[in-house]
Amino acid sequence: MRTLQPVRGTRDILPAEMRRHRAVAETARRVAAQYGYEQMATPVFEFTEVFKRTLGEHSDVVMKEMYTFPVSEEGDTVTLRPEGTAGFARAYIANGMQQNLPVKAFYTGPMFRHERPQKGRLRQFHQVGVELLGPSRPLADVEIIAMGQQVLAELGLSESITLELNTLGDLESRKAYRAALVEYFAGFKDKLSADSRHRLDRNPLRILDSKDEGDQAVVADAPTFGDYLNQHSQDFFGQVCEGLDALGIGYRLNSRLVRGLDYYSHTCFEFTTTALGAQGTVLAGGRYDDLIETMGGPATPGTGWAAGIERLSMLMDRDTTPTRPVAVVPAGGDAEMAALRITQDLRGRGFTVDMGYSGNMKKRLKRANNAGACAAVILGGDELAQSVATVRNLDTGEQETVALDQLPGYLARYQPG
């Protein structure tokens, strides 16, 4: 019989790690809210066409990494979402959200890609992300990047992370650059990997992002995008850099940064680290002015980013220990109903409370210590007869007798903050 383990590329998230995941997601949600972004959610799976049309039919994600399933005899298929922007764009069109521009959305949830599992890369992984639809000016890109930088700073990660920045220009600039790349790479076709030869006719920009050593040697002397940017694209990118300079956000220009999806234009960026080995990108995004129109919606400028929760939680060095509970310890069966009522009353007042369900006094106190309790509220027959409880400080061992109606006020000293 097969050992009951998680499927390869997936993993159980146990409480200690889950606290770090929550810290990442909650920090991102809170910062996004400061910028006026509201949380929304889209389905975990969409019709496959949503991703083929937006990510690029010949992209690595579509060709190699999607989990796709048939759902009808007519050939309809659905795909577990490999990223968040495409589903958000579909939701924008389907729900008529263009009537309320600008649209500012925050999301968090699982994504799925059939990749080779390694450190920081899973087949089921989790992301936080933001999307901004409507504004077409460079300042929107600056604000999006600033929001990402603030999330990383509040997680305590800004010192170990570098912002890499590039421009993919407008459609006219990309066509000119594409033609130059095709001409250049055609002269080295025999030296390119099979994947890059395949990309040469379909999307040569992806060759720039190849991790193959032979491809990288050829890419080293390839034309750079900056030489093919028209004036509009140069001005747009210049204003993005000027805005980041004004905010004191440092960055490194990377002319080879292209991102992995077809819908990007103008600004693209990645926050990277060397602390995770090859999987160095922790938050990335850019502008996608043509995406909504490509999907059949009205022409709508857009920009956004997504960040991997697993990768960020691996980098975190903050204390995510849980709130220490108060333990309610009934001494004897007669005290259990009273203890139950007191437990629920304290929880209703905002306390974290743990109650042992069985065992003698010694075992229940041991359980309280194992649970990390800060104090134990001990209830026995004598205490109940006098409407009091014995409260023991489990760090010092000191204890006091407290009237039951004064218990919440007395225990407030154990509340965090």
**Are 301 and 98 a contacting pair, CB within 8 Å?**
no
Q: How many domains are contained in the chain?
A: 2
Domain match, 242 and 330 both: no
> How crowded is the C-beta side of 206, counted as CA atoms within 13 Å?
21
Domain match, 288 and 143 both: yes
The CATH number linked to 384 is 3.40.50.800
Look at residue 308 and tell me if it is in a domain.
yes
Domain match, 298 and 331 both: no
Residue 83 annotated in ligand binding: yes
Look at residue 3 and tell me if it is in a domain.
no
Q: Give the per-residue pLDDT at 253.
A: 95
Look at residue 32 and tell me if it is in a domain.
yes
- How far is residue 298's CA from residue 89's CA, in Å, rounded to a whole number? 11
Domain boundary, last residue among 296, 315, 334: 315
Q: Give the per-residue pLDDT at 63.
A: 61
Residue 263 annotated in ligand binding: yes
Domain boundary, last residue among 285, 315, 345: 315
Look at residue 198 and tell me if it is in a domain.
no
Look at residue 64 and tell me if it is in a domain.
yes
Q: Give the per-residue pLDDT at 91.
A: 96
Burial class (CB in 10 A: 0-12, 13-18, 19+), 325: buried
Look at residue 219 and tell me if it is in a domain.
no
Q: Give the per-residue pLDDT at 278.
A: 60
**Per residue of the chain (417 residues), what is the pLDDT tens digit?**
567 898 899 999 999 899 999 999 999 999 999 999 999 999 999 999 998 876 765 566 666 788 999 988 888 999 999 999 999 999 999 999 999 999 999 999 999 998 777 766 789 999 999 999 999 999 999 999 999 999 999 999 988 899 999 999 998 998 898 889 888 888 888 888 888 888 887 778 878 877 788 888 888 888 988 889 999 999 999 999 999 999 999 999 998 887 655 668 899 999 999 877 665 899 999 999 989 998 899 999 999 999 999 999 988 876 677 889 999 998 877 788 889 999 999 999 999 999 877 777 888 888 888 888 999 999 988 888 899 999 999 999 999 999 999 999 999 998 775
Domain match, 141 and 65 both: yes
Domain boundary, last residue among 287, 315, 343: 315
Residue 349 annotated in ligand binding: no
Nearest residue to 338 via CA among 383, 374, 371: 383
Look at residue 164 and tell me if it is in a domain.
yes
Residue 357 annotated in ligand binding: no
Domain match, 286 and 162 both: yes
Look at residue 66 and tell me if it is in a domain.
yes
Domain match, 70 and 127 both: yes
- The amino acid at residue 53 is R
Domain match, 311 and 397 both: no
Helix axes 48-55, 85-94, angle to 10 degrees: 110
Residue 85 annotated in ligand binding: yes
Tell me the Ramachandran region of residue 183: left when phi exceeds 0, alpha when psi lies from -120 to 50, beta otherwise: alpha
Q: Give the per-residue pLDDT at 120.
A: 65
- Which residues in 71-117 belong to E strands, given as ranges? 77-80, 103-112
Domain match, 135 and 243 both: yes
Domain match, 296 and 380 both: no
Residue 127 annotated in ligand binding: yes
- Does the N-terminal peptide bond of residue 102 adopt cis geometry, omega within 30 degrees of 0? yes
Q: Name the residue range of residue 129's domain.
A: 15-170+230-315
Q: Give the per-residue pLDDT at 138.
A: 97
Domain match, 311 and 371 both: no
DSSP state of 164: E
The CATH number linked to 98 is 3.30.930.10
DSSP state of 126: E
Domain match, 356 and 399 both: yes
- How far is residue 355's CA from residue 203's CA, in Å, rounded to a whole number? 61
Domain match, 139 and 259 both: yes
- How far is residue 206's CA from residue 59's CA, in Å, rounded to a whole number? 8
